[in-house]
Amino acid sequence: MLMKNRILTGITTSGTPHLGNYFGAIKPSLELAKKSDDSFFFLADYHSIIKVNNPQEVSSSIENIALAWLSSGLDISSSFFYKQSDIREILELSWILHCVTAKGLMNRAHAYKALKENNDDDKGINMGLFSYPILMAADILMFNSTHVPVGPDQLQHLEMTRDIANRFNHIFGDTFEVPEAIINDENSIPGIDGRKMSKSYNNVIPLLCDEKTLRKTIMKIVTNSLEPGEPKDHETCNVFNLYKNFSSDEEIAEFKEEYNNGISWGDAKNKLFDKANDYLLPIRERYFSLKEQNDLVNDHLSDGAKKVRPLAKDFIEKIRIKIGIS
């Protein structure tokens, strides 16, 4: 157990929550929070407008993502749960960090490099995307987080946060905690086509859908052409790899034996559906119950901002003094 730790998890407010989000981020973060002294969960709504320009989509996604976390067991009485845009000091800190961050560091960001690879004139790349890692750094450093759960694709951005914190500390004296990464491997959750589950691949299994939609989606999982009775390789099977997330070691061993005995793809998918549906039922019921309570999400986020904002205001005042603005 760490001596004193503060966990911070940023929640992207775009798209519909799916099983990859749940097993790759929501579940491990909630388990981690139980072992932490302080846990911060925030909805990264300013990050979402980098790519989403539809205000209705942004607003709807904020509610759905918040409900997904609340339905999955987020305990707001023992953690900080807030919306990024409610903490104005984060944007002020972001500008301050911009002023100590080398452009060359941003040039090396994977997301920017990937878009620029076949686009020499930066067409279609906005400054929000280019400087995204600095806003992420402000999110993290605003509350002196000690540990940040990230997926493999976000690890570089956490390393940039560490670079920025060290740079500021070097110039203005010790100010920021330099955070450590905790890796959440979302790549272990396959989509229905076998690639990483992602809305950009259109291969997701929704977390909060009804039973009929869940069954229909699972039945679309890509398999090979082996017939019933023919032994099947469980290790490379999308159905089996999804089943593991819902099952005990004993159940996984039994399912593996059924693969060796040639289970049909229809029966395998039905077994996955039964396990997934039983597992997700209480989450789904909480979701629909919470959704019926008008203004619940806004009330929780407003209460969270009231808890968090004083911490941010106090810290930004100290930072202003450090840089000569007070």
* Domains assigned to the chain: 6-189+294-323 (3.40.50.620), 209-289 (1.10.240.10)
Task: Please name which of 47, 164, 176, 173 lies closest in space to residue 105, comparing C-alpha atoms.
Answer: 164
With residue 149 as reference, give the H or E element that holds it. strand 147-150
Report the distance separating Cα 179 and Cα 16, nearest Å. 29
Report the distance separating Cα 141 and Cα 171, nearest Å. 16
Query: How much is the pLDDT for 1?
Result: 38
Q: Where are the strands (E) in 101-218, listed by range?
A: 147-150, 180-183
Query: How much is the pLDDT for 185?
Result: 61
Averaged in consecutive runs of 10 residues, what is the pLDDT profile of the chain (326 residues)?
76 87 90 93 94 90 94 96 97 98 92 76 86 96 95 88 98 97 76 91 94 98 96 96 96 97 98 98 96 93 97 98 94
Query: How much is the pLDDT for 319?
Result: 98
pTM above 0.85, yes or no: yes
Task: Please name which of 112, 129, 153 lies closest in space to residue 25, comparing C-alpha atoms.
Answer: 153
Query: How much is the pLDDT for 152?
Result: 81
Report the distance separating Cα 149 and Cα 27, nearest Å. 11
Task: Please name which of 19, 23, 16, 22 lies closest in space to residue 221, comparing C-alpha atoms.
Answer: 19
